[in-house]
Structure 1
């Protein structure tokens, strides 16, 4: 099974991935993707990087009994490239489409989008490691672009999670989110 966790910084990706790992049997690997080095042509680097990622997923995962969890993958390219790198990353959807056409089994891919519609809550969870701006306008643009990218993705097993919908007593209910994840 392939689990792809995408979304904004400070939206519990790492926490939920660790919880998911405890429920999976067998071999589980977590891969964390990050942006391109500043010393390269960002778009050329990302195109090659994501093509390689999809090739690797096809090579390794079609009939495997292991689980692979991607902490960020390709959707962020459609978000961060127009906001911070100055180009459109929509070519990522063509790569995704080609990848899905080559897969024997698309049912073993799950896409999970995590975001928070409450910018103040996002800012309050800032851990100092975020590359995103803590500016309300930029956070709103980032969220809108993630939702757009999620909608454009052709992966069929998807879960969209607005953390504001899972608040109780000023805490986010990861148990509820995990229950939703088990349903997709």
Structure 2
């Protein structure tokens, strides 16, 4: 593993550990409360959205709070949460924000939940993330997932030199839950 890859990996781990949510994530709420039955369903459509790069100044290293709704899927708001600008990288943070109902509902998740023997388990799945510029050139450097957040690394110069950046995320699940 090269020095650049190690630095990107360490930053990704920092991002994953630094991501916090004022509320517990839907995964933690459902997994911690064994009174729910959870049924997974594959989310068949790709989650697609575009960022206009002119909307963001990347001149200095910083965290840019965005908190912009991209799409609503079931009971989940998909948010363009933040951009983390570093010397050579831009980390795009996507948040899946869900309000859990006390009785039943459906939410989007990068994980699959399975209830067996009255225990709800979280199973990691293969989320596929593709990022392209307006000419179809692939841009992504890496990605990571933590509970309800997806972090996507991009080369800063490629991000800056693009007019728009198109994202496509597949392999997500819709989780239906109901109180026992």
TM-score range, shorter chain: under 0.3
Higher share in helix: 1
TM-score (normalised: structure 2):
0.26
Higher share in strand: 2
Determine which structure has more spread, i.e. the larger CA radius of gyration.
Answer: 2
TM-score (normalised: structure 1):
0.25
